[in-house]
Each structure stands twice: as C-alpha cells, then as structure tokens.
C-alpha cells in the first residue's frame, strides 16, 4: 500500500493569474453601468434610448465579459507528478510538463508584481521557448514548490546514475593493464 500512496498523483495547487488582472475590466463595468443608468431614458426619441442600452451592453460584453472569460479560462494545476497548463475559451490548449524530466524555474517580477508578491514563473524545459505561468500569485512559493516536487520525482535511473557518478571509486586503476 505504501507504493500506491507514492504512485498516486495528488493536486498540490490550482492557480490562475492574479485577480488584479480584473481591476480595469471591473472599473469599466462600473463606469458603463453608471453611464447607462444616467443616460438611459433621458432622450425623447425611443431609438436613442435603445441605442444607449445597446452601446452599454456592447461595452460590457467587450470591456468586462470577454476579459473575465479569458481570465477564467487560464488555469495552472500543479500535481505531484506534473504541471498542467490550460488556456483558452473557444479554442482550448492543454500543455503538460512532467517533474521527472527536470527543468529550470525562474521568477520574473516587475514593480507592480513585486508589490502584490506575484510574478511570471518561467519554466525552461530545454525546448525552444520556456513555458510561462503568467502573473501567478505567490510566485516565490510556487518556485519553491516546483523545486521540491522536481527533486522528489527524479527519475530512478537518473538518480542511480547520479549516485554512481558522485560515489568515490574504491578501485585503483593502473594504466597499461
């Protein structure tokens, strides 16, 4: 049973980009709602009032609903075996990285991100382009967790090979024999 507990994959963290990404869309929603509430019904012509409502609905759709769906459509799931990146709403993209493959984890933060303790976690897998977890909350904690998970899930063959290479040899080699 101990091997079943070690082999089972458990979710360590479920992440989205920082909620700060919804600040400007939410502010736009409030402004549009206030403008529609102020101007709707104030015109004598019915078509003008309908145009205000239609423009308000269009602005809410473009400025708030689409960014909300984009934000909700981006998820990062870190398990004990892999990282799963999901993005997209109409066209879904799923990418998986195994911890046993080994990779380099870097955190990049701009001024605003460091203020909120978020950041971009770059995962260099040795491929052409590194994978980026964009604007992740608690980026330093995510980096530390990924390092720990990568250490725990080393490939047994690679771990044995590394142990053999670091072990001092007991044998004496004589050249020419």
What are the extents of the domains in the chain?
Answer: 11-18+77-164, 19-71
- pLDDT average, residue stretch 34-53: 94
How far apart are alpha carbons 134 and 33 in whole angstroms?
30
Whether the pLDDT of residue 9 is over 60: the answer is: yes
Query: What is the 3-state secondary structure of 25-48?
Result: HHHHHHHHHHHHHHHCCCCCCHHH
CB count within 10 Å of CB 103 equals 19
Segment 56-73, tens digit of pLDDT = 999 999 999 999 999 999
User: Where does the pLDDT of residue 151 fall: very low under 50, low under 70, confident under 90, or very high at 90 and above?
Assistant: confident
Whether the pLDDT of residue 173 is over 80: the answer is: no
Indicate yes or no: pTM above 0.85: no
Candidate from 40-44, 133-137, 161-165 with smallest mean pLDDT: 161-165
Segment 87-132, tens digit of pLDDT = 988 889 998 888 887 788 889 999 988 899 999 999 887 777 888 8
How far apart are alpha carbons 136 and 138 in whole angstroms?
6
User: Where does the pLDDT of residue 34 fall: very low under 50, low under 70, confident under 90, or very high at 90 and above?
Assistant: very high
Which CA distances in Å does 35 have to 66, 95, 111? 20, 42, 33
- pLDDT average, residue stretch 40-51: 93
Please state, rounded to an integer, the average pLDDT across all residues of the chain: 85
Candidate from 1-15, 16-30, 38-52, 154-168 with smallest mean pLDDT: 154-168
Domain 11-18+77-164 fold is PH-domain like (2.30.29)
């Amino acid at each position: 049973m101990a091997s079943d507990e070690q082999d089972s994959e458990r979710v360590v963290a479920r992440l989205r980009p920082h909620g700060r990404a919804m600040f400007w869309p939410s502010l736009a929603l409030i402004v549009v709602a206030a403008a529609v509430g102020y101007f709707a019904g104030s015109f004598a012509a019915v078509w003008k009032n309908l145009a205000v409502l239609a423009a308000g609905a269009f602005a809410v759709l473009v400025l708030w609903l689409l960014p909300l769906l984009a934000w909700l459509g981006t998820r990062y799931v870190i398990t004990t075996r892999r990282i799963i990146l999901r993005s997209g709403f109409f066209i879904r993209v799923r990418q998986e990285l195994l911890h046993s493959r080994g990779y380099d984890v870097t955190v990049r933060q701009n001024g605003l991100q460091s203020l909120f303790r978020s950041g971009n976690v770059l995962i260099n897998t040795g491929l052409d382009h590194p994978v980026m977890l964009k604007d992740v909350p608690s980026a330093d904690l995510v980096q530390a967790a990924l390092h720990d998970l990568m250490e725990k899930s080393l490939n047994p063959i690679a771990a044995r090979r590394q142990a053999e290479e670091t072990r001092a040899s007991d044998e004496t080699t004589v050249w020419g024999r």
